[in-house]
Amino acid sequence: MKRNLIGRRKFFKTLGAGSAVIAANPFIAAAPAKIQEQAKPATNISETSKYPRKPYSMPGKYPGKVVVVKNERSVVDDVPVEEVAYLMLSRSMLELTGQKRLDKAWRLFVSPGEKIGLKVNPVAGKLLSTSHAVVKSVVKQLTECGIDRKDIIIWDRRDMELKDTGFVSENYPGITIKGTEMQDEKGSFTDENGILYGERNIDREWYYWADVDGEYDAETMPYMVNGGKFSYFGRIVTKEIDKIINIPILKNAGGSITNAMKNLAFGSISNTGRLHAQLWNETCAEVCAFPPIRDKVVLNISDGLRGCFNGGPGANPQFICNYNSLLVATDPVALDRIGYDIIAAKRIAEGLQKTPVPESLTFLKMAADLGLGVYEKDKIDLKEIEMS
Amino acid sequence: MARSNNYITKKTLVFLILIFNLNSLLPQIPGDFPMVTNDDLPGARFYQPRIFNGTSLFGYIDGGAELYLEYGFSMVTVTEIDYMGGKYKTEIYRMNGPEEAFGIFSVSKFRCAGMPPVSDFTCQTKYQLQICKGPYYISIINRTGTRNDSIASLKIGEAIAGKIKDEQINLSFWMPGVPISELKQNCILARGKLGIVNGSPDLEDFFSGASNFTAVIVSGSKKLVAIRFDSGESLEKFLVMHNLKTDTPQSGIRLKKTGDVLLNIEMEN
């Protein structure tokens, strides 16, 4: 009821609220009608409370702290520059941790011998993937602080998208690169027994249950791995890595954004097609509350060198822009809150919307309620650094 | 030497069969689908297309698929093409009809640098050529944004569009009396919530709570909105929700109901 009343007011603002014409408009003169909200399907979020939090569970070492480093030289001719990204990352890490030495800053989060997973986002293809400039900078700084390359895994849901976007051994020698959903050299999604390779890569002990059925045809199933009401976490997350460094790219997604939380949530589980329409906000927040994510993510490094302000999560070139920014935080909720402001400001500047839309932040409010981070802007400790 | 030439000839033949004879390799592409070949673009190299049908679109653009599915999506082919010294990615989306294709086109274009006459609905920007023709929405993306890329994209676009014989959407049906030139420039067709969010976010709250509708919106000196509902019941629900009356003059807004399911609204900006 309240939501719709506010909504209608906002609509009339866009038509020039305050004018005599609108003041007399019967839309607002009349009492608003009641719009029934659809009941949300149930999920198994309550199960997360069974698992005690660890000292550095999400939101990590620095709740509510976000560092944004801007550098206008970070993108040249629409290509991110690795040397500049490296410097931006160094500055971010020192600012976030208060350390004077870069290796010490990194060692607050990772230790030699641990398996470190870098969760990138290649879903929009070459045009709008997490940049190699940022990922290579992360790899370089990890190795400089003593992490062996063989202990680094670059991962995402889809092995084929990693390959398409250049996450291959030629570009990352000595580093494991893998996805949950995969094809063999012949392009087949199934082995000689007709079993999806993806099935080997999910962990049926860990799941996000939601009362929405995933019903897919044979062509869709390889991208979902399984149907039904269970979304299983990938084994990469549950078994193969000790720590996660989340490296999303700063994009809008419909009326909201896809950055740290969505990259983790939708990138870590199977059977996601069923979740977009009814449970997008819940999935972004709740999946991150399960221990494989909540207790392993130590850093979020949002690649905002390039990004998009509309048309996301896909890549429409006319909506791709250079934000020239790197956002770093242990707290993904606070990081997404700041990321939202950057995208909303761009959308307003481009005439796509007139004001920020609070409803876009619903998933962050949910995540904050689950104790995953800080959502209120006035409680976020934002450090903005202009390098250029 | 002769053996070597023979070898090259055979190898080339196999290569040509593999690369260019798309229909024999990919029977799942319908015969009437506007695929281009070397006959249409001499000198081009076509990589094997990827095909996504129905909900398998999630496998290509993940959450981005929701928008296409909401409009009504049939299939897409994604093909990389080397042509005139550049590299191009073509996406040919077959939607469920011309309305659905125009809808996707209208909410995907932004600040067209040019509208070359490849089709009634074409939008060219530095890195992309977008075309709507019949039930197809076509996107051709280049990598470098050069003049050569623009020319090559146009040639590819013309070749694809030339194979489409289907009828276009009739926008004048939706907006009688509005010049077609204005409709081509300023018109969007939004279907469902995601269509509004992507195409006319300033109306997001106005349509909040509405369902099963298609809206054609023209933003000029006034905002013209034509909404078609799936039933008279949905239309009446919308009217009640906004306390709108079709039979009473209202300040700042003109309302006309055509038939049982179509509503035309004219709003002051």
Is A16 close to B108, i.e. CB distance below 8 A? no
Looking at the complex, report in whole angstroms how far the Cα of residue A346 sits from the nearest Cα belonging to chain B: 14
- Closest to B242 in 3D by CA, of A206, A35, A335: A35
List the CATH code of the domain at B2-161.
3.40.1000
Is B268 close to A32, i.e. CB distance below 8 A? no
Is B126 close to A317, i.e. CB distance below 8 A? yes
Q: Assess contact for A256 and A313: CB atoms under 8 A.
A: no
Rounded to whole angstroms, what are the CA distances from A297 to A244, A351, B2, B204?
Answer: 4, 36, 63, 35
Q: Which tops the pLDDT comparison, A38 or A119?
A: A119
Residue in chain A closest to B127 (alpha carbons) equals A317
Best residue of A121, A180, A276 to probe chain B, by most B CBs closer than 10 Å: A276
Is A27 close to B253, i.e. CB distance below 8 A? yes
At residue A20, φ and ψ (nearest 5 deg) are -60, -35
List the single residue in B55, B65, B240 with the smallest CB-CB distance to A217. Answer: B55
Q: Is A140 exposed, middle or buried (0-12, 13-18, 19+ CB in 10 A)?
A: middle
Partners of B77 on chain A (C-beta within 8 Å) are none
Supply the pLDDT for residue A111. 98
Supply the pLDDT for residue B6. 52
Residues, chain B: 269
How many angstroms separate the CA atoms of B157 and B122, rounded?
10
Rounded average pLDDT over A352-363: 90
Residue in chain B closest to A36 (alpha carbons) equals B209
Best residue of B115, B205, B247, B267 to probe chain A, by most A CBs closer than 10 Å: B205
Looking at the complex, report in whole angstroms how far the Cα of residue B177 sits from the nearest Cα belonging to chain A: 23
Residue in chain B closest to A5 (alpha carbons) equals B205
Is the pLDDT at A15 greater than 60? The verdict is no
Residue in chain A closest to B266 (alpha carbons) equals A15
Supply the pLDDT for residue B105. 97
% of chain A at pLDDT higher than 90: 82
Which has the minimum average pLDDT: A32-46, A288-302, B135-149? A32-46
List the single residue in B64, B127, B267 with the smallest CB-CB distance to A314. Answer: B64
Q: Assess contact for B92 and B49: CB atoms under 8 A.
A: no
How many angstroms separate the CA atoms of B41 and B20, rounded?
11
Rounded average pLDDT over A203-212: 98
List the single residue in B223, B243, B251 with the smallest CB-CB distance to A21. Answer: B251
Best residue of B50, B53, B55, B150 to probe chain A, by most A CBs closer than 10 Å: B55
List the single residue in A19, A33, A273 with the smallest CB-CB distance to B240. Answer: A33
Partners of A79 on chain B (C-beta within 8 Å) are none
Partners of B104 on chain A (C-beta within 8 Å) are none
For residue B180, give the amino acid letter.
I
Residues of chain B with CATH 3.40.1000: 2-161
Residues of chain B with CATH 3.30.1360: 171-268
The residue ranges of DSSP E strands in A42-90, in sequence order, are 65-70, 75-76, 79-80
Beta-carbon pairs below 8 A across chains A and B = 149
Partners of B111 on chain A (C-beta within 8 Å) are 318
Is B64 close to A273, i.e. CB distance below 8 A? no
CA A152 to chain centre: 20
Q: What is the mean pLDDT of chain A?
A: 90
- pLDDT 10s per residue in chain B (269 long)? 334 445 545 555 544 444 444 444 344 789 899 999 999 999 999 999 999 999 999 999 988 999 999 999 999 999 999 999 999 999 999 999 999 999 999 999 999 999 999 999 999 999 999 999 999 999 999 989 999 999 999 999 999 999 999 999 999 889 888 898 888 888 999 998 889 988 888 888 888 878 889 999 998 888 899 999 999 888 888 888 888 777 666 667 788 888 888 888 888 76
Partners of B128 on chain A (C-beta within 8 Å) are 316-318
Is A220 close to B54, i.e. CB distance below 8 A? yes
Is B58 close to A224, i.e. CB distance below 8 A? yes
CATH number for B171-268 (one of 3.30.1380, 3.40.50, 2.20.25, 3.30.1360): it is 3.30.1360
Supply the pLDDT for residue A37. 55
Looking at the complex, report in whole angstroms how far the Cα of residue B57 sits from the nearest Cα belonging to chain A: 8
Which has the minimum average pLDDT: A11-20, A278-287, B122-131? A11-20
* pLDDT band, very low/low/confident/very high, at A17 (cuts 50, 70, 90): very low
How many angstroms separate the CA atoms of B239 and B233, rounded?
10
Helix (H, G, I), strand (E, B) or coil at A388: coil
Looking at the complex, report in whole angstroms how far the Cα of residue B185 sits from the nearest Cα belonging to chain A: 16
Residue in chain B closest to A359 (alpha carbons) equals B205
Residue A291 tokens, joined? 């221990």
Is the pLDDT at A338 greater than 70? The verdict is yes
Supply the pLDDT for residue A137. 98
Looking at the complex, report in whole angstroms how far the Cα of residue A61 sits from the nearest Cα belonging to chain B: 31
Looking at the complex, report in whole angstroms how far the Cα of residue A316 sits from the nearest Cα belonging to chain B: 7
Q: What digits encode the pLDDT tens for the residues A51-94?
A: 999 989 999 999 999 999 999 999 999 999 999 999 999 999 99
Q: What string of H, E and C letters represents the secondary structure of B176-211?
A: CCCCHHHHHHHEEEEEHHHHHHHHCHHHCCCCCCCC
Is the pLDDT at A8 greater than 90? The verdict is no
Give the angle A66-A62-A207 at the CA atoms, nearest 5°.
Answer: 95
Residue in chain A closest to B246 (alpha carbons) equals A26
Is the pLDDT at A345 greater than 90? The verdict is yes
Supply the pLDDT for residue A359. 87
Q: What digits encode the pLDDT tens for the residues A170-201?
A: 999 999 999 999 999 998 999 999 999 999 99
Best residue of B62, B211, B222, B251 to probe chain A, by most A CBs closer than 10 Å: B62
How many angstroms separate the CA atoms of A357 and A369, rounded?
20
Global pTM reads: 0.87
Supply the pLDDT for residue A32. 34
Supply the pLDDT for residue B253. 75
The residue ranges of DSSP E strands in B96-161, in sequence order, are 121-125, 128-133, 136-142
Q: Is the dihedral of CA A282, A285, A291, A297 positive or negative?
A: positive
Helix (H, G, I), strand (E, B) or coil at B135: coil
Is A223 close to B109, i.e. CB distance below 8 A? no
Residue in chain A closest to B123 (alpha carbons) equals A318
Is the pLDDT at A13 greater than 50? The verdict is no
Rounded average pLDDT over A304-328: 93
Supply the pLDDT for residue A136. 98
The residue ranges of DSSP E strands in chain B, in sequence order, are 45-46, 50-53, 73-83, 86-95, 121-125, 128-133, 136-142, 187-191, 213-219, 222-229, 253-258, 262-268
Supply the pLDDT for residue B267. 80
Supply the pLDDT for residue B176. 86
How many angstroms separate the CA atoms of B179 and B186, rounded?
11
How many angstroms separate the CA atoms of A158 and A18, rounded?
51
Q: What is the DSSP string of A224-238?
A: HS--EEEEEEEHIII
% of chain A at pLDDT higher than 70: 90
The DSSP symbol for A375 reads -
How many angstroms separate the CA atoms of B210 and B208, rounded?
6
Can the peptide bond before residue A52 be classed as cis, meaning omega within 30 degrees of 0?
Answer: no
